[in-house]
Amino acid sequence: MRLRVFLPMKVLIDQEVTRIVAEAEDGSFGILPKHIDFVAALVPGILSFESGGKEEFLAIDEGILVKCAREVMVSTRKAVSGKNLGELKQTVEQDFRTLNERERKTRTILARLEADFTRRFLKMREQG
């Protein structure tokens, strides 16, 4: 079956696989080539798949999985791939560090904007 993983700006994976394991709100489930067609809402977690006898892993954000005929399509906002869980863990930790730094910078900028807004508002109030 064909696995395609779509991110907002690119296709992360587009390859033939023999097995997929994903996680929905009510637990994990497996998909084999002749599995019935269905749709599932995915929760943040690990999606694994087997290709060429090797298991690969994706850490994914929440998303949607659609199984239709020989195609399995996953749409998610964010996903990180890894050949093994150790490598994936390091990649995810690095991404979270980067994300935390961006969030910290964004919060600092927002705090400055709020302080500036408040200062100008008070100045207008004093003049009026």
Q: Residue 39 maps to which CATH number?
A: 2.60.15.10
Q: How far apart are CA 33 and CA 71, in angstroms?
A: 9
Relative to beta strand 2-6, strand 71-76 is parallel
Of the pLDDT bands very low, low, confident and very high (cuts 50, 70, 90), residue 97 is: low
Q: How far apart are CA 63 and CA 41, in angstroms?
A: 6
Residue 29 burial (CB count, 10 A): 14
Higher model confidence: residue 89 or residue 25?
A: 25
Is residue 22 located within the same domain as residue 71?
Answer: yes
Q: How far apart are CA 122 and CA 11, in angstroms?
A: 50
Name the residue range of residue 38's domain.
2-83
Q: Is the pLDDT of residue 101 over 80?
A: no
The confidence score (pLDDT) of residue 99 equals 65
Predicted confidence (pLDDT) per residue in 22-80, tens digit: 999 999 999 999 999 999 999 988 899 999 889 999 988 889 999 999 999 999 988 88
Is residue 91 located within the same domain as residue 79?
Answer: no
CA 120 to chain centre: 40
Predicted confidence (pLDDT) per residue in 5-22, tens digit: 999 999 999 999 999 999
Count of the separate structural domains present in the chain:
2
The model carries a pTM of: 0.71
